A and B are shown apart, each in its own frame.
Chain A
Amino acid sequence: MPEVLIIGAGPAGLAAATAARRAGARVVVLDAAEDVGGQYWRHLPQQRPAGREEVLHHGWERFTGLRRELTGVEIVTGAQVWLAERHDGRPPTVHILVGPADGADRVRRVFDPGALVLATGAYERTLPFPGWDLPGVFTAGAAQALAKSERVAVGRRVLVAGAGPFLLPVASSLIRTGARVVGVLEAGGWSRLGRAWTARPTELLSASHKAGELAGYARDLVRHRVPYRVATGVIAAHGHDRVEEVTVARLDAQWAPVPGTSRRVAVDAVCVGHGFVPRSELAVAAGCQTGPDGTVVVDADCRSSVPGVFAAGEITGIGGADLALAEGTIAGTVAAGAAPTSAQRRDVLVYQRFATRLSDGHGIRPGWAEWLADDTLICRCEEVTAGELRDIAAATGSRGLRSLKLSTRAGLGVCQGRVCGRSVEELLDRTTGGLLDPGRTANRPLAGLVRLGELARTQGDPS
């Protein structure tokens, strides 16, 4: 059994692995993907290694350095962690299936680690808008993932929209994958962005490498004459069976569309992301305490509320790859029984301030509900519309999230509410005048798709 088991091989998990190894621990790293790197360092597959991967990655040398340091660490890729079996006062038993994604004959392994570092990252939150279910509407992260690991551009005439600095690398990757980017639209307005990004400029100097990264993307936009607009968003997508046009409008400080400002733009793809949601289901299953925004609560040593369970990276709060690296170093070091240096602790603080600016400048505002129509899908899996959600809530008079989900089916589809959960909760909270049991959406006992046959086999049934 490993002394330190790490789930997730993104920046946080890799930093944790190398730190724990340096501290002398026996380390095993698990990741569902076929290769290490996580979302940030997604790259071309081993079958087609890039000559110049750094074209799409700032800090690529940091990754190759970490990867070199992994000698002596057992890395299991293609490893879907599907269950964290909770125990009182110690790390959970971790169950994995290893093999091709969603395959039927994957190999089962079980770990009872001395210490567990959760570094499962985040996924994107895209707010619903009319037509967001049309093919050709992608999350910004999908465009990024396809550009980096497939060299596929999701369209030829692409608009990038949503909120946060993440839109810039997405636009830059699209350009470098052959797409024409017709604009980057940021929902936040200058006054809010300005307050968030110009306050205490000396703080940003210490995170200057981050500022340099963003400046690099901005240069790409200028060179390719890509307009960057603030206080603006995509409020509808149009087309018969694929997106052909989008409606773009100015947004007020609450992100409600400003009447009379909308116009249509022809596109063949639109990439939209409004923020990130921590992937905390394994942490919840392990019994770790989470905050109201779904982040795993940790102390300065990255310890969660469960003894022996640590968390690092985006699951402890959305702050970007540099913060993930800094936290991973702390988590891995402490999990291996060593003490972090004061410089390592200082790194965490520097990048945490950057994270605060992110949420101050770009955090989601409630006015988005104004761009919904009655027939706008909210839950993509079960195809529940905004109108149905409101009408059923009114008809039942219920204020319970759990019972409203059962009666509307919103959030009960195959994605288990990962895509719509927060939006459903926000909308129901408003129509009901306040939910009695908010925040249950991260409660998913199984962290991955498991086939009944596989489950039967894992229970010792030879079928």
Chain B
Amino acid sequence: MTTTGPARLEAADDPVSPGPTSEIAIVVDGSEIRGLAGQTIAGVLLAAGRQSWRTTARQGRPRGVFCGIGVCFDCLVTVNGLRDVRACQRHAADGDEVSTDA
């Protein structure tokens, strides 16, 4: 386990006591990433330790989540072939195919 970067708090350690939920799996650029039902795509990526996933057009710089509430469009991904989906707004569905190189 890494000790740096974003992380999801395990339910057992969580003072908020989240209820039980089902696991989901999405495929991101060909690799499977596991998450929890009800998470956004950005939430699944961050919980897996990913801080960035997009590259900017002009300077080729990495981007991930910035505003977290659907305003900045930094977090765009392609979901099941549909481009320009805000990862922080779209809830992940089991089996979603996400690609980050659009």
Whether A associates with B in a native complex is yes
Q: Which residues of A contact B (CB under 8 A)?
A: 32, 34, 39, 44-53, 55-56, 100-104, 123-124, 133-139, 141-146, 149-157, 176-178, 241-242, 268-269, 380-383, 413-415, 418-419, 449
Rounded to whole angstroms, the CA-CA distance of A369 and B22 in the bound complex is 48
Q: Judging by beta carbons under 8 Å apart, are A415 and B46 in contact? A: no
Rounded to whole angstroms, the CA-CA distance of A91 and B65 in the bound complex is 36
Rounded to whole angstroms, the CA-CA distance of A151 and B8 in the bound complex is 6
Q: Mark B37-67, 1 if CB is under 8 A from A, else 0.
A: 1111011001100011000111101111111
Rounded to whole angstroms, the CA-CA distance of A136 and B67 in the bound complex is 11
Q: Judging by beta carbons under 8 Å apart, are A34 and B21 in contact? A: no
Beyond A152-B6, A380-B66, A449-B84, list 5 extra A-B contacts (CB 8 Å).
Answer: A47-B38, A100-B90, A102-B89, A152-B43, A382-B58
B residues less than 8 Å from A178 (CB atoms): 7, 9, 13
Rounded to whole angstroms, the CA-CA distance of A223 and B64 in the bound complex is 32
Q: Which of A51, A150, A382 has the most CB of B within 10 A?
A: A150
Q: How far is the CB of A260 from chain B (nearest CB, A)?
A: 31
Q: How far is the CB of A100 from chain B (nearest CB, A)?
A: 6
Q: Judging by beta carbons under 8 Å apart, are B85 and A101 in contact? A: yes
Q: How far is the CB of B49 from chain A (nearest CB, A)?
A: 10
| CB contact between A150 and one of B4, B5, B8, B19 (< 8 Å): that residue | B8
B69 contacts A by Cβ under 8 Å? yes
Q: From known contacts A48-B21, A241-B62, A242-B51, infer whether A151 and B16 are also in contact, taking CB-CB under 8 Å.
A: yes
Q: Which residues of B contact A (CB under 8 A)?
A: 3-9, 11, 13-22, 36-40, 42-43, 46-47, 51-52, 56-59, 61-74, 76, 82, 84-86, 88-91, 93
Q: Judging by beta carbons under 8 Å apart, are A380 and B58 in contact? A: no
A residues less than 8 Å from B36 (CB atoms): 47-48
Q: Judging by beta carbons under 8 Å apart, are A383 and B58 in contact? A: yes
Q: Judging by beta carbons under 8 Å apart, are B72 and A34 in contact? A: no
Which single residue of chain B is at the shortest CB-CB distance from A154?
B6
Q: Judging by beta carbons under 8 Å apart, are A44 and B16 in contact? A: yes
Q: How far is the CB of A197 from chain B (nearest CB, A)?
A: 28
Q: From known contacts A52-B15, A178-B13, infer whether A104 and B38 are also in contact, taking CB-CB under 8 Å.
A: no
Q: Judging by beta carbons under 8 Å apart, are B73 and A155 in contact? A: no
| CB contact between B5 and one of A102, A133, A142, A268 (< 8 Å): that residue | A268
CB-based closest 9 A-B pairs: A142-B68, A45-B38, A51-B17, A47-B38, A135-B52, A101-B89, A150-B43, A48-B21, A47-B37
Q: How far is the CB of B47 from chain A (nearest CB, A)?
A: 5
| In the complex, number of A-B residue pairs with CB atoms less than 8 Å apart | 180
Q: From known contacts A102-B84, A155-B4, infer whether A150 and B74 are also in contact, taking CB-CB under 8 Å.
A: no
Q: How far is the CB of A386 from chain B (nearest CB, A)?
A: 15
A-B contact pairs, 21 of them (CB 8 A): A32-B70, A48-B20, A48-B36, A50-B16, A50-B18, A50-B19, A52-B15, A101-B90, A133-B63, A135-B52, A142-B66, A142-B69, A145-B68, A146-B65, A150-B46, A380-B72, A381-B73, A382-B58, A413-B73, A414-B84, A449-B84
Rounded to whole angstroms, the CA-CA distance of A211 and B38 in the bound complex is 34
A residues less than 8 Å from B70 (CB atoms): 32, 101
Rounded to whole angstroms, the CA-CA distance of A153 and B16 in the bound complex is 14
Q: Judging by beta carbons under 8 Å apart, are A151 and B38 in contact? A: no
Q: Judging by beta carbons under 8 Å apart, are B16 and A34 in contact? A: no
Q: Judging by beta carbons under 8 Å apart, are B17 and A177 in contact? A: no
Which single residue of chain B is at the shortest CB-CB distance from A124?
B67
Q: Judging by beta carbons under 8 Å apart, are A101 and B91 in contact? A: yes
Q: Judging by beta carbons under 8 Å apart, are B51 and A135 in contact? A: yes
Rounded to whole angstroms, the CA-CA distance of A53 and B17 in the bound complex is 8
Which single residue of chain A is at the shortest CB-CB distance from B40?
A150
Which single residue of chain B is at the shortest CB-CB distance from A34?
B91
Q: Judging by beta carbons under 8 Å apart, are B73 and A153 in contact? A: no
B residues less than 8 Å from A100 (CB atoms): 90-91, 93
Q: From known contacts A152-B46, A418-B72, infer whether A137 and B66 are also in contact, taking CB-CB under 8 Å.
A: yes
Q: How far is the CB of B8 from chain A (nearest CB, A)?
A: 5
Q: How far is the CB of A147 from chain B (nearest CB, A)?
A: 9
Which single residue of chain A is at the shortest CB-CB distance from B53?
A135
Q: Judging by beta carbons under 8 Å apart, are A152 and B8 in contact? A: yes
A residues less than 8 Å from B16 (CB atoms): 44, 50-53, 55-56, 151, 176
Rounded to whole angstroms, the CA-CA distance of A150 and B84 in the bound complex is 22
B residues less than 8 Å from A52 (CB atoms): 15-17
Rounded to whole angstroms, the CA-CA distance of A178 and B9 in the bound complex is 6
Q: How far is the CB of A47 from chain B (nearest CB, A)?
A: 3
Q: How far is the CB of A167 from chain B (nearest CB, A)?
A: 16
Q: How far is the CB of B25 from chain A (nearest CB, A)?
A: 15
| CB contact between B72 and one of A47, A134, A152, A419 (< 8 Å): that residue | A419
| CB contact between B67 and one of A48, A51, A123, A156 (< 8 Å): that residue | A123
B residues less than 8 Å from A382 (CB atoms): 58
| CB contact between B17 and one of A50, A142, A155, A242 (< 8 Å): that residue | A50
Rounded to whole angstroms, the CA-CA distance of A137 and B13 in the bound complex is 26
